[in-house]
Structure 1
Amino acid sequence: MLDLLFSGGAAWFTIPALLGTGVFLIKLVLMLSGGSDDLDVGGDASAGHAGHDFHDGHGHGSGLMAIASIQGVSAFLMGFGWAGLGAFQGMNLGLIPSMGIGVLGGVVMGGIFVALLTTTRKLSSSGNVNFAEAKGATGEVYATVPANGQGRGQVKVVVSGRQRILQAVSVGESIATGITIRVVEVRPDNSVVVVPANK
């Protein structure tokens, strides 16, 4: 088995394959176990109680770029090594053609990694909601809002381009389900103060 991995020019592919795979697996295990996987990019992902979404995400690109470079290089090495080794030992190609196939395999693995990273960033940023944008918005009462702040109801309001159900209080009269409302204040806990829209 070792001679298959290291005989002739196979070491040119085996070493990068093992290095890339090792780094990738270590990062994966750390990420899945909740350990320090260096993926903390400075995001403040405090949960929005009322909207059940995240808000105020302030991700910093430098941390993400460091991870992208480490994971990108390990993905390239893994693809290069295993594709090159398969071509060299499995297809009995020479060293130079096998290196070409290895580079192609590395580029494909790197491309897959970049696509996954881009998708992950889009998904995480789509969860970031700035509830302050709700101020002044109109919506509809989902569950009756009690009078004079003596409890909370729920309202449907469009925030950051998506409809959200938010906890709501009224400083005046009770507001029944189905009534159109206007948000006059957003509180620190992301609940909103509402009034009937016609007032």
Structure 2
Amino acid sequence: MLETLSERGKNELIDRLTELVVLERIYWYLAIPFTVLFIIQLATTFIGLDSADGMEGVEEGLDVDDDFEPGSTFNLFTVKNFITFFTVFGWSGITFSNAGMGNFITLLLSAILGIVVMLIVSALFYFATKLTYNGTMQIEHAKGATGKVYIPIPAKRNGVGKVSITFQDSFRELEAMTDDENSISTGTVVEVMDVVSNRILLVKKNN
């Protein structure tokens, strides 16, 4: 009888250890590849945010998906967020498993921690991108806006003047040209019709 109980105990212990080894192996299988992806994701994102090319750099840094596209709403179910979740889930599972916690508690705590960190990182990326976008001028957005001339603009694109204009919630002073037959004097209200080059507007008098 005692030998039977002893054998049963040994078998249960072996089964439990086998289960722990299998689970910990799964955690390792998740932790390592997703950590590599997370590091790549983090690097490309912040390289994009620091790019001198403005918003084009941000778009290149965020090309995995559109969860941080400027103007978009906050999206939880994205490739970036899943990478973050499984990175944290894997390492948490390894840590809690080595600490001797039960399988259910390990799974539960790892999942909770993964979700919390995923939300934090996702929010940081989102707001960092929004701030970068708001501070980056996209001159194309000036089309249709109105402003005032403060350096006269020569007629028929014979020279460049300057206008004071507000777009993208920012006050800016930009160079401008016109196709009008007459020059546009200081203080005249103008409307932006097009963009001649990267920083030069094409304007006309706003009648």
Instruction: Identify the TM-score tier after normalising by the shorter chain.
Output: 0.5 to 0.7
**Alpha carbons 2:175, 2:201 under 8 Å: kept:** yes
Q: 1:82 aligns with which of 88, 91, 99?
A: 91
User: What is the aligned partner in structure 2 of residue 164 from structure 1?
Assistant: 172
**Alpha carbons 1:88, 1:98 under 8 Å: kept:** yes
RMSD: 3.9
Structure 1 gaps, min length 5? 1-5, 43-57
**d(CA) in 2 for partners of 1:106 and 1:152?**
56
Q: 1:147 aligns with which of 151, 154, 165?
A: 154
**Alpha carbons 1:20, 1:73 under 8 Å: kept:** no
Provide the TM-score with structure 1 as the length reference: 0.62
User: What is the aligned partner in structure 2 of residue 47 from structure 1?
Assistant: none
% identical equivalent positions: 17
Structure 2 gaps, min length 5? 1-19, 49-56
Distance 1:74 1:173, change over 3 A: closer
**d(CA) in 2 for partners of 1:27 and 1:188?**
34
Q: Which amino acid aligns with 1:88?
A: S
User: What is the aligned partner in structure 2 of residue 96 from structure 1?
Assistant: 104
Greater relative CO, 1 or 2 (CA 8 Å, sep 6+)? 1
User: What is the aligned partner in structure 1 of residue 142 from structure 2?
Assistant: 131
User: What is the aligned partner in structure 1 of residue 189 from structure 2?
Assistant: 182
**d(CA) in 1 for partners of 2:125 and 2:96?**
28
**Alpha carbons 2:195, 2:201 under 8 Å: kept:** yes
Q: Number of aligned residue pairs: give it.
A: 165
Q: Which has the larger radius of gyration?
A: 2
Provide the TM-score with structure 2 as the length reference: 0.60
Report deviation, 1:107: 0.3
Q: Would you tell me which structure has more helix in proportion to its own residues?
A: 2
The reply on whether 1:72 has 2:81 as its aligned counterpart is yes
Counterparts of 1:6-155 in structure 2 under 5 Å? 7=21, 9-28=23-42, 32=47, 39=63, 69-89=78-98, 91-123=99-131, 126=134, 127=136, 128=138, 130-134=141-145, 137-141=146-150, 144-148=151-155, 149-155=157-163
Q: Secondary structure at the match of 1:92?
A: coil
**d(CA) in 2 for partners of 1:166 and 1:123?**
22
Q: Secondary structure at the match of 2:78?
A: helix
**d(CA) in 2 for partners of 1:78 and 1:40?**
17
